[in-house]
Structure 1
Amino acid sequence: MQRLCNNHMTGNIHTMTSSQSDETLMLQYAKGDMAAFELLYRRHKNSVFRFFARQCDDHHLAEELFQELWNKIIKARSTYQASAKFTTWLYQLARHVLIDAMRRKQVRTQHLVQTEPEIPTSNVIELVAFDPSISKRVETAQQVELLKGCLALLPLEQKEAFLLRHEAQLSVSEIAQVIGELPENIKSRIRYAMSKLKRCLVNKLGADHEQ
């Protein structure tokens, strides 16, 4: 992930402060302040990369899309306007990059079967409770992999809404702006995603315990 900005950063990040908003930093970068860009990059690189990696389930492709996104941000700096939150603009760009890649490569995603039988609940449901960082609630490497596997099975629209909410930390209204949907539809997608993730995790963990 780092190679993109090696020639685009100054190392003067100490001149910036963490209290400056993303919007302020982007406007400063548009005026030529490279340290502002570096701080923006450091703030958002991990969540943006996870957004790509968990959507396309291909680390190499995620790296390519990550680079493409930041190149677009660099090229768009002179036209950036702080009319919306920077993160809303950022993930709108990220989504367009991802959609274009899916069209080019004809990426196909698997869906959870809609008629899955009900699975008894257990304490593992707490692993996917509404939380700012869902992965932090998963304690073992094995469970992290199970969670990734369950995420990969979600329908694309539900996975996208879920990741924007729990990885990118966007509000429902911000996600609605990014995707171009009504907030009510976004809430439904997140709710269905949560329900399917819970059932999937309970099912997978239960199967592992039986082996």
Structure 2
Amino acid sequence: MQDLDDNALMLKVKNGDLDKLGLLYERHKKRLFGFFYNLGNAPSESEDMVQNVFMRILKYRKSYTGEGLFAAWMFRMARNVNYDHHGRSSKNRSLEMVDPDTVRLEREEGDDHLDKKENTQQLNRALSLLPTEKREVLVLSKLRELKFRELAEILGCSEGAAKVRVHRALNDLRKIYIQLETV
């Protein structure tokens, strides 16, 4: 069963073979956790949200068509779980971001460590000041390393539009980062 791709597994889940959902969970739990965590959620919240995604996958399995990538369908659900968790009205709220690499950096010593830590904190702060949609685009494209084709499918737009959204989000992040440097 490990040889089946995600789409084939999900089609089996859709047709009643619910045990295959466990394989999908094992394949994607880390990616989803990283997605939620990088959006500024606490580790325990991120774990809960991963569970909620798979509960929704189970609930809405009949709506899965098998067209496109399973990961795109899954991340659309993940985005909705994140919106529901934080409330759709708080689109521009500020989140305190924590980079998993920061935990490792804190164990290092020296002036270089302090510079890296400050830069990471400032980047996380700038990222947290972006609107949710732009933060999601950057998390998916840069931290989760999705291809533009996958990102376009998740966002429901063309590949070109996905590239433009990433470019604009990066420009906004750069502007915020520079503003924070001058403060």
**TM-score between the two structures when normalised by the length of structure 2:** 0.68
1:55 and 2:39 are equivalent in the alignment: yes
In structure 2, do the counterparts of structure 1 residues 77 and 158 end up closer, same or farther at CA, with 3 Å as the change threshold? same
What CA distance in whole angstroms lies between the structure 2 residues aligned with 1:191 and 1:139? 29
CA displacement 1:51-87 (0-9 Å, x = unmatched) = 1222243334333322221111111223422022101
Quote the residue 1:10 is aligned against: none
In structure 2, do the counterparts of structure 1 residues 68 and 39 end up closer, same or farther at CA, with 3 Å as the change threshold? same
Measure how far apart 1:24 and its partner are: 0.6
For residue 158 of structure 1, what is the amino acid of its counterpart?
K
Quote the residue 1:67 is aligned against: 51
Quote the residue 2:27 is aligned against: 43
8 Å contact 1:54–1:152 — kept in the other structure? no
For residue 11 of structure 2, what is the amino acid of its counterpart?
L
Quote the residue 1:154 is aligned against: 130
8 Å contact 1:87–1:170 — kept in the other structure? no
**TM-score between the two structures when normalised by the length of structure 1:** 0.61
For residue 30 of structure 1, what is the amino acid of its counterpart?
K
SS of alignment partner, residue 71 of structure 2: helix
What CA distance in whole angstroms lies between the structure 2 residues aligned with 1:198 and 1:141? 23
CA RMSD of aligned residues (A): 3.5
Quote the residue 1:82 is aligned against: 66
Aligned pair partner of 1:141 in 87, 90, 105: 105
Measure how far apart 1:169 and its partner are: 3.7
In structure 2, do the counterparts of structure 1 residues 61 and 140 end up closer, same or farther at CA, with 3 Å as the change threshold? closer
Q: Please, which runs of 5 or more residues in structure 2 have no aligned partner?
A: 107-115
1:166 and 2:142 are equivalent in the alignment: yes
CA displacement 1:159-188 (0-9 Å, x = unmatched) = 111122234443223322322344444223
Quote the residue 2:7 is aligned against: 23
Percentage of identical aligned residues: 28
Quote the residue 1:117 is aligned against: none
For residue 90 of structure 1, what is the amino acid of its counterpart?
M
8 Å contact 1:56–1:107 — kept in the other structure? no
For residue 99 of structure 1, what is the amino acid of its counterpart?
Y
What CA distance in whole angstroms lies between the structure 2 residues aligned with 1:152 and 1:71? 28
Quote the residue 1:130 is aligned against: none
What CA distance in whole angstroms lies between the structure 1 residues aligned with 2:131 and 2:88? 19
Aligned residues: 165
8 Å contact 2:12–2:20 — kept in the other structure? yes
Measure how far apart 1:43 and its partner are: 1.2
8 Å contact 1:54–1:151 — kept in the other structure? no
